[in-house]
A = this chain, B = another copy of it.
Amino acid sequence: MTDWSVTIEAAREDDGSPIFVRIARAITADIRRGRLRAGDALPGTRTLATSLGVHRNTVLAAYRELFAEGWISSAKAKGTYVSVEIPEVAPKRFSPKAVLTREIAARAGYDVESGARGPGGGPLVESTPPVIPQRGPSLRKGALMTLGGGMPDVRLVPAGELARAFRRVLRRSALEVLSYGEPQGPVALRAAIAKMVSATRGVAARAEHVLVARGSQMGIDLVARTLIRPGDVVAVEHLGYRPAWEALRAGGARLVPVPVDAHGIDVGKLERLADAEQLRGVYVTPHHQFPTTVTLAPARRLRLLDLAREKRFWILEDDYDHEFHYEGRPVLPLASADVHGVVLYVGTFSKVLAPGMRIGFVVAPVPIIDRLATTRRYIDRQGDHLLAMAVAELLEEGDIQRHIRRAKRIYAERRVRFARLLETHFSGVLSFELPSGGTAIWARVSADVPVDLWAKRALEAGLVLQPARLFSFDGKGRSYLRLGFAQHDEREAKEAIGRMARAIPRRARASG
């Protein structure tokens, strides 16, 4: 029988957070330090409520939170137990087998064979249509909804804890955060990020290897402005992430698209490109490729790292939603296997926390970080040290980690539910695989449904859809949609899919 008095004592310590949070934390602390183990029974809610002198609803709220975060499970009428699969803290090392064993044939076919001069034969189409991918709020003013992929549900953000963190920082460190600070960001957050990527992503880093940027976008922009000379060739994934292309191009790069297939960027083609031209760098999203959601195959990862070393180009790795991986553990980034210092690693809290909180980071060798910091002085001089310190606190306290676990569990459910809705409503129209991670489904659209017209009609009906054209270098359409599932609850998802169904264009028929 577990002794609950320690837990109860811990839950009684008033640190300013709501009681149910304190109860939940006291229990997770017990699980972490091994006082409670997988399968152990938790006390009944009435019993615990009486011991703590709180209302039973408070204990119920704490248990709901623990359930959402995956710490406990409930067997009907048999009480509540510590989960058998409790969230692990230490990362699994990258396993080369993890991805190869999965066949993802259904995802093939969205590379750019047609109409492209091909890598090694110079740049493909350099002109970019001015459309900006919709990664906006999930419910806009009025009735506009978006199935744009890549957005978290900001309603899950612990806004109250954030406000308290702001208050604490302003109380304790007002002079520090209000004065000019270092362009690299405050050392407290740089250290917390270094600790996080070391502990959970296998990227060995100390504070001096980290620059706090305003989202991954500024990380990319800083690299573009610092490490590209006009005319330098930079390879990018195709299909790919347009805002990164724009920043790289603004930095002077001549972009060359390299096709993406079911196993990520085609490293063989990249190699032929690197043989033909002096490559300065390559921009990749290996974990959940944007927009196709595929994971870079292990053999390609290793070849890419070797190639960068041989041909002396840098790899700009954008790991924009590392944590949201639902099948097994997240795949460790390229940066974790980079022994030659060729990877510039970019991450962000925009996806795991809130897009409006512009906190991202670059992890790189110290001389690079120093050069990026110099560039940064002339962009906006420095970041938001108040926000940065508040985020550092939330990381130190584990609030962000708790939020991630909770969001991940919710998104995992939404992923499955959304997929089921798509199958029900668009049988024969959409085909897709459940993505192993991320916040969106990449769906192939039946050839007889004009996808761009569908998106146009959907917009008229108050729904933003993202067709493949938005992610293409040559401005051509392709029969794919990127569909975000994370930002909508069940009711909203149904409404959005209803609008999507009503907007579907009549299929082209054989004439006559």
With a CB–CB cut-off of 8 A, which chain B residues contact A381? 214-215, 217, 243, 358
CB contact list, A152-196 vs B, under 8 A: 154-155, 157, 159-160, 162-163, 166-167, 170-171, 174-181
With a CB–CB cut-off of 8 A, which chain B residues contact A137? 175-176, 179-181
CB contact list, A381-406 vs B, under 8 A: 381-387
User: Is A346 on the interface with B (CB-CB < 8 A)?
Assistant: no
With a CB–CB cut-off of 8 A, which chain B residues contact A139? 175
Residue on B nearest A379 in the bound complex, by CB = B221
With a CB–CB cut-off of 8 A, which chain B residues contact A171? 159, 163
Given contacts A162-B170, A378-B250, A180 and B221 within 8 Å (CB-CB): no
User: Is A30 on the interface with B (CB-CB < 8 A)?
Assistant: no
Contact B167 A179 (CB under 8 A): no
With a CB–CB cut-off of 8 A, which chain B residues contact A357? 178, 384, 386
Q: How far is the CA of A380 from the CA of B379 in the complex (A)?
A: 10
Contact A135 B180 (CB under 8 A): yes
Contact B382 A379 (CB under 8 A): no
Contact A138 B179 (CB under 8 A): yes
With a CB–CB cut-off of 8 A, which chain B residues contact A379? 217-218, 221, 247, 379
Q: How far is the CA of A102 from the CA of B223 in the complex (A)?
A: 49
Q: How far is the CA of A243 from the CA of B384 in the complex (A)?
A: 19
Could you say which of B177, B214, B355 contacts A180, with CB atoms under 8 Å apart? Answer: B355
With a CB–CB cut-off of 8 A, which chain B residues contact A176? 137, 356
Q: How far is the CA of A157 from the CA of B174 in the complex (A)?
A: 9
User: Is A450 on the interface with B (CB-CB < 8 A)?
Assistant: no
Q: How far is the CA of A305 from the CA of B247 in the complex (A)?
A: 34
Residue on B nearest A159 in the bound complex, by CB = B174
Copies in the complex: 2
Contact B180 A151 (CB under 8 A): yes
With a CB–CB cut-off of 8 A, which chain B residues contact A217? 377-381
With a CB–CB cut-off of 8 A, which chain B residues contact A419? none
Contact B151 A356 (CB under 8 A): no
Q: How far is the CA of A246 from the CA of B213 in the complex (A)?
A: 20
Could you say which of B175, B375, B380 contacts A380, with CB atoms under 8 Å apart? Answer: B380
User: Is A499 on the interface with B (CB-CB < 8 A)?
Assistant: no
Residue on B nearest A139 in the bound complex, by CB = B175
CB contact list, A193-229 vs B, under 8 A: 213-215, 217-218, 221, 225
Q: How far is the CA of A130 from the CA of B170 in the complex (A)?
A: 33
User: Is A136 on the interface with B (CB-CB < 8 A)?
Assistant: yes
Given contacts A137-B175, A354-B178, A163 and B170 within 8 Å (CB-CB): yes
Could you say which of B138, B154, B246, B384 contacts A377, with CB atoms under 8 Å apart? Answer: B246
Q: Closest Cβ of chain B: how far from A489's Cβ, in Å?
A: 13
User: Is A132 on the interface with B (CB-CB < 8 A)?
Assistant: yes
Contact A356 B221 (CB under 8 A): no
With a CB–CB cut-off of 8 A, which chain B residues contact A174? 154, 157, 159
Q: How far is the CA of A151 from the CA of B175 in the complex (A)?
A: 13
With a CB–CB cut-off of 8 A, which chain B residues contact A180? 135-137, 151, 355-356
Q: How far is the CA of A225 from the CA of B224 in the complex (A)?
A: 13
With a CB–CB cut-off of 8 A, which chain B residues contact A175? 137, 139, 154-155
Given contacts A358-B382, A378-B221, A380-B214, A178 and B151 within 8 Å (CB-CB): no
With a CB–CB cut-off of 8 A, which chain B residues contact A163? 166-167, 170-171
Could you say which of B178, B225, B354 contacts A356, with CB atoms under 8 Å apart? Answer: B178
Residue on B nearest A213 in the bound complex, by CB = B380
Residue on B nearest A226 in the bound complex, by CB = B250
Contact B170 A132 (CB under 8 A): no
Interface 0/1 of A336-348, CB less than 8 Å to B: 0000000000000
Contact B166 A246 (CB under 8 A): no
Contact A378 B177 (CB under 8 A): no
With a CB–CB cut-off of 8 A, which chain B residues contact A213? 380
Interface 0/1 of A220-257, CB less than 8 Å to B: 01000100001000000000000100110010000000
Interface 0/1 of A355-387, CB less than 8 Å to B: 111100000000000000011011111111111
Closest 5 CB pairs of A and B: A137-B179, A178-B354, A214-B380, A154-B178, A159-B174
Given A139-B175, A179-B354: 15 more A-B contacts, CB < 8 Å: A137-B180, A138-B179, A157-B174, A159-B174, A166-B170, A178-B357, A179-B356, A181-B356, A217-B377, A217-B379, A221-B380, A243-B377, A356-B384, A358-B382, A358-B383
Q: List 25 A-B contacts (CB under 8 A).
A: A136-B179, A138-B179, A154-B174, A154-B178, A154-B179, A157-B178, A159-B178, A160-B170, A163-B167, A166-B166, A166-B167, A178-B354, A179-B354, A180-B356, A181-B356, A214-B381, A215-B381, A217-B381, A221-B379, A243-B381, A250-B375, A250-B378, A356-B385, A357-B386, A386-B387
